[in-house]
Structure 1
Amino acid sequence: MKWRSARRSSNVQDVRGRRGGGGGGLKLGLGGVAAVVVIGLLLGKSPMELLGLVAQVQQQMPAESGGPAGAPPADDEASQFVASILGETEDVWSAIFQASGSQYTPAKLVLFTGQVQSACGGASAAVGPFYCPADQKVYIDLSFFEQMERRLGGGGDFAEAYVIAHEVGHHVQTLTGTSARVNDIRRRGGNVEGAQGPLVRQELQADCYAGLWAHHAQRRHAWLEPGDLEEAMNTATAIGDDTLQRQGQGQVVPDSFTHGSAAQRVRWFRIGFESGEVERCDTFAANSL
């Protein structure tokens, strides 16, 4: 995949190496603490208040080996790749929204290590990439891509691009009100799970949106190489509910599906990729998925 031809987004926030996806906590030594106490007394301020302010500032500072706060290291190819894919999703969706008479508001993407705090709560790398509608950010621990290749049978640069585009698809659903409708069903006590349920339809639409993005990105850059599409299909298969359930518990329970089967995920990605039309991604109107 010739991803270097894409524009790199400035909406990547790199907090890798920071404890909890934020700062590493208060790092003052005893001398530093004493100095803050003395300054507080001289200024008539509470030393504890000043220490709290110092901690907040340090939480916003990068790790010692990093660059400026929120900026990916200049020589880090992994973050450059993510920024390029995110930039292309911004350009594609901006054009699609503009054609319909509306404006696309880009999501931000947070790279973290181990665990992170989002507006949706704390999360560890074990949950995989996720989108938080409360702060409109995508969160990714890049180790997921290594696990995807080593343990799940997926992987490759276009497969990684598919995962990012899928999460951005959830952002599109937030902007268009689709996510709010699914959440409303859940709040009213409705069942959202199951192979034909609203949650699966939401996830499959995000897969279709990822395919739609890939369609337009390919037309813009002709950047796909032999085997790239197969990488995405292998990954979609590897993270299907039936595949994961079979590996994890030895049996498939369609009533508990939340993301769709391998075949469903492949099908809806292909619908988006082959058509390039937003209307074709209306999984909620489909009689059968």
Structure 2
Amino acid sequence: MVMVMMVMGCNSGGVSGEGTEGGEGRGLSGAMMEVGRSAERAFYAFIELMADVLGFNVKLTTKKNEVGVYFNSLGAKLSKASEELEEVAKNAEMGVNKSSSSKNLIREAVNIAKGILKTLKGNLDLLGQVGDDKVVGETATNSQGTTVAEAELKKVYNALKAIVKVATDTGVKALKAGVITLSINGVDNKDGAKILATNNNPGAQDAGKAAIILTAVSGEEILDSIIKSGEGDVVLVAAAQADTSAISFAKGGSDANLAQNAAQASAVAGGIALRSLVKNGKLASGAADGSAGGK
């Protein structure tokens, strides 16, 4: 299971473009550009967390609620950007060389931008509430896994969906959908999905196959699979299909139902991501702690 976490872990430092540099006196255009950058940062934060591109430094000891602190810090930056926009509007309203129509247009633009930032911050704050004090990717000891808390799963799903909508509405390129199944490069890796089993133990070799699934997809494809799920998608009670969602995989089921070659690798990876980050979630393992395939 350590192998799975090493694949998921991000090991570069710092989020590119953090902060709201040069806010004082930069004018409406600069402040509005910050809205676009803020939407883009929120959009990519989850992708970066999963795909080892930038951002939060997930280690084997990182707790789920520490990831929440990271998302909360992004929300705090949006509050700062909103304050700067308000200053721009106030300065415009006091300007003696501006017409009333010009002042009104600036105020209207600022209010729209502040609304966008408020939406982003609210959803980042929701992401900050979905973890617990267990490590990211918490794994059972030679046992079946544990599904995620339903309320927190809904929070993360709705928050990510809202963030993606805001980001794409402000010009961020739409997400790329995954197309790879669990037969990767001609190799059968379907048993890797068994680490999501909630009724049975996986085999000792299945964690390695889960790592292959994770490396076969991008963080962008993982996020796409999550937001294309349905909020009410249920635990697997039959064999996984090509349209089985990340949320269903996160909720689990029997190892036999999970391990199906027709399933999308991005959906399985999305299920692993959600199980690893959301409260109460625990991955299954097929060996003793410290052994190959174990915790």
- TM-score tier by shorter-chain length is under 0.3
Highest RCO, 1 vs 2 (Cα 8 Å, sep ≥ 6)? 2
Structure number with the higher strand fraction is: 1
TM-score, normalisation: structure 1: 0.28
